[in-house]
Structure 1
């Protein structure tokens, strides 16, 4: 197990950990490696309904087509007590963020490290308030184009996410 206390660390969270957060995990890992950054990157879901499942086949396809290696992945639920272990915990939707706040409160830890993925999206106007719809689109109920849209949003913010966590150290 990697010691998160010595390296910048990121946890990305969506619903089941098979689409959005898993895609972000793959993209962040790829970008960090290409930039020579030693960053701990992980992903999880707020639900356990997909626990143990691989990245959704449709997400794998768009990632592979975009040139990413598809790692072994087993979806998992956010564990009690782990939020404080990460420098940055990124929610894919406001609903995910609310769930993460509840977990942090239940665990008795601060929530200053919990942010929205799209807060780092350079295509949004600077100063876009967090109360604005910052949800990363959920491709689950859609088709191939929906997964491509999600890929675009996730890729768009990835470098800024890495900059934020490495600059903070």
Structure 2
């Protein structure tokens, strides 16, 4: 599950990209990808029109989507929770039903080999917020393009991680 604030921009963009990559990897029938938000402010709304436009222009099919806030059941049931920002990751970890669920929270960009801080030999990131995917909602088209670039940059490594979990 990909997670952002309102579930109308970043997390649905990541959901669409991951579904596409998992399908290409032949794993679509073994993996469910969905998305949610930590807030209910956009509950029921579709993907932001700007996010949908950028996805379509890059060759992605944008399915029907209704934004929703992550539920306690979802927090406990998902094998991997991919947070768009450090704030989202902290919230997910504090809301997780147990330590095992909290340990399944990862920063989405922690899978991007070119992300800041990941070239450290120890593999440590000084501050998780260095891996934030900023909210494009407040910006212009270029901000949505940048979000898609960041989402795509981590997607293949996420697919490989999931492949490893399936073994």
Does TM, normalized by the shorter one, top 0.5? yes
Alignment of 1:59-74 (within 5 A): 59-74=51-66
Q: Which has the higher strand share?
A: 1
May I ask how many residue pairs the two structures share in their alignment?
157
SS in 2 for 1:23: helix
Which of 2, 5, 8 in structure 2 is aligned with 1:18?
A: 8
Which of 105, 108, 112 in structure 2 is aligned with 1:114?
A: 105
**Cα displacement (A) at 1:22:** 0.4
**What corresponds to 1:164 in structure 2?**
161
| Segments ≥4 residues shifted beyond 2 Å | 107-110
SS in 1 for 2:137: coil
| 1: CA distance, partners of 2:151 / 2:24 | 17
| 2: CA distance, partners of 1:91 / 1:50 | 17
**Cα displacement (A) at 1:109:** 4.8
Structure 2: 5+ residue stretches without partners: none
Q: CA RMSD in A?
A: 1.3
**What corresponds to 1:41 in structure 2?**
33
Residues 10-69 of structure 1 deviation map (CA, whole Å, 9 limit, x = unaligned): x11000000000000000011111121121101000000101100000000100000000
Q: Structure 1 residues 130, 165: closer, same or farther in 2, change over 3 A?
A: farther
Q: Which has the higher helix share?
A: 2
Give the TM-score normalised by the residue count of structure 2: 0.89
